[in-house]
Amino acid sequence: MQKFHSLTNNRDFQSVYRTGKSLANQYLVMYVKKRDDEEENRVGISVSKKVGNSVVRHRLKRLIRESYRLNCGQAARGFDLVIIAREKSNGKTYQEIEGALLSLLKNHHLI
């Protein structure tokens, strides 16, 4: 099982928000910032309370995390990513979330 590194500090999230580039589709928003070292990508996932209760938010985080985990081998390395779930993502299937994530990765030229 392949594990990826997470963004954990608010300072890291804010840095990506301020200096990163963002693209969005109907279910997700993705901010990408190039890092100096070429090791691994760090990923942060954010789901607002507007999306739903804690059960719904945690389910979406798991779906996004698993989608990225299974496809991170294809992605370019050395980036900080912040993925934000939109309200429309509530109740969507794994395939829809994975498709939205892959679409954003392609639009950012990471795949």
Residue 58, domain CATH = 3.30.230.10
Q: List the one residue out of 76, 98, 79, 91 whose CA is nearest residue 28.
A: 98
Residue 37 domain-assigned?
yes
What single DSSP character describes residue 31?
E
pTM comes to 0.91
Q: Which two tokens stand for residue 67?
A: 């989608």
Q: How many domains does the chain have?
A: 1
Residue 67 domain-assigned?
yes
**Per-residue confidence (pLDDT) for residue 2, from 0 to 100:** 60
pLDDT in tens, 92-101: 999 999 999 9
**Per-residue confidence (pLDDT) for residue 37, from 0 to 100:** 78
Contact 50, 80 (CB under 8 A): no
Contact 104, 26 (CB under 8 A): no
Mean pLDDT for 99-111 is 93
Instruction: Give me the helices (H) in 1-111, please.
Output: 10-19, 54-71, 94-107
83 vs 41, residue with greater confidence: 83
Q: List the one residue out of 74, 81, 70 whose CA is nearest residue 5.
A: 81
Residue 110 domain-assigned?
no
Which residue segment(s) compose the domain that 101 sits in?
5-105
Mean residue pLDDT across the chain: 91
Per DSSP, the three-state class of 90 is: coil
